[in-house]
C-alpha cells in the first residue's frame, strides 16, 4: 500500500506544491481556452452580457485541484490498499475518471461542474450504498473526504463561472446597412 511509504507523501506534497506554483500559468491557459471558445462561438454569454476571460486570482479557477482530486480518487484503492474490496475499485475509478472528464469539459462549459457536484456527493454516500464502508480503515474515509472536497470545489467553480458572466455593452437590436453613397 502506497500510503505506508514515506516517499509517497513526499511525492504528493511535491505535486501539490508544483500545482500551486503553476496555478497562475494554468489560470492563464484556461482563460485563453475560454476566449477561444467564445471566439469560435462554442459558448454564448447571452444578450447584453459578456464573459470576462481575464485570469483571476488563486481561487478564481479551482479546476486544477479538481483534476488532482479526480486522479486521487481513481488511484485511492491502490494508495490506501483496499484494492481487494468489492465495489470500491469500480466506484473510485469510474467516479475519479468522471470527475476528471467533467472538470476538463467544465473549463469551457461551466454547467458541467454541476454533475461534478453529484459525483462528489456520490463519493460521500457510495461506501455505504455499495457496501464497502463497513470494512474500516481508509476504505470509506478516503471517499468521504475526497467527495466532500470535490463538492466544495465544484460549487466554487460554478460560483466563479457565474462571476465571469458580466453585463456587456448594449447592443443594437438590428443594424441598418448603409449604402456606399450615404457615406
Which tens digit of pLDDT belongs to each residue from 57-111? 777 788 999 999 999 999 998 998 888 887 889 999 999 999 999 999 999 888 8
Most confident stretch, 2-16, 51-65, 115-129, 160-174: 115-129
141: nearest Cα among 93, 73, 94, 74: 73
> Is residue 118 assigned to a domain?
yes
Which tens digit of pLDDT belongs to each residue from 123-160? 999 988 888 777 666 778 889 999 999 999 999 999 88
> Is residue 160 assigned to a domain?
yes
- For residue 147, count CB atoms less than 10 angstroms from its CB and return exposed for 0-12, middle for 13-18, buried for 19 or more: buried
Helix (H) or strand (E) holding 10: helix 6-39
Q: According to the model, what pLDDT value does residue 147 have?
A: 96
> Is residue 20 assigned to a domain?
yes
> Is residue 180 assigned to a domain?
no
> Helix, strand, coil: what percent of the chain each, to 5?
70, 5, 25
Domain count, the chain: 1
Which tens digit of pLDDT belongs to each residue from 21-51? 988 898 899 889 988 988 888 887 777 777 7
> Is residue 175 assigned to a domain?
no
Q: Can you give the residue range of the structural domain that contains 72?
A: 2-167
Q: According to the model, what pLDDT value does residue 180 have?
A: 60
Cell numbers standing for residue 139: 476504505
What's the whole-model pTM score? 0.83
Helix (H) or strand (E) holding 49: strand 49-51
The residue that leads in pLDDT, 86 or 113, is 113
Amino acid at each position: 500500500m502506497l500510503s505506508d511509504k514515506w516517499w509517497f507523501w513526499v511525492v504528493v506534497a511535491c505535486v501539490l506544491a508544483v500545482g500551486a506554483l503553476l496555478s497562475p500559468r494554468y489560470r492563464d491557459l484556461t482563460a485563453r481556452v475560454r476566449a477561444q471558445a467564445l471566439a469560435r462561438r462554442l459558448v454564448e454569454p447571452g444578450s447584453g452580457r459578456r464573459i470576462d476571460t481575464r485570469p483571476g486570482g488563486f481561487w478564481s479557477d479551482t479546476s486544477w485541484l479538481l483534476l488532482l482530486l479526480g486522479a486521487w480518487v481513481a488511484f485511492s484503492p491502490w494508495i490506501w490498499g483496499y484494492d481487494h474490496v468489492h465495489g470500491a475499485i469500480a466506484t473510485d475509478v469510474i467516479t475519479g475518471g468522471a470527475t476528471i472528464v467533467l472538470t476538463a469539459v467544465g473549463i469551457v462549459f461551466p454547467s458541467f461542474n454541476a454533475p461534478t457536484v453529484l459525483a462528489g456527493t456520490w463519493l460521500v454516500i457510495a461506501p455505504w450504498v455499495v457496501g464497502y464502508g463497513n470494512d474500516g480503515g481508509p476504505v470509506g474515509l478516503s471517499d468521504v473526504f475526497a467527495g466532500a472536497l470535490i463538492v466544495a470545489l465544484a460549487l466554487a467553480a460554478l460560483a466563479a463561472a457565474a462571476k465571469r458572466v458580466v453585463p456587456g455593452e448594449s447592443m443594437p437590436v438590428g443594424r441598418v446597412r448603409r449604402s456606399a453613397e450615404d457615406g
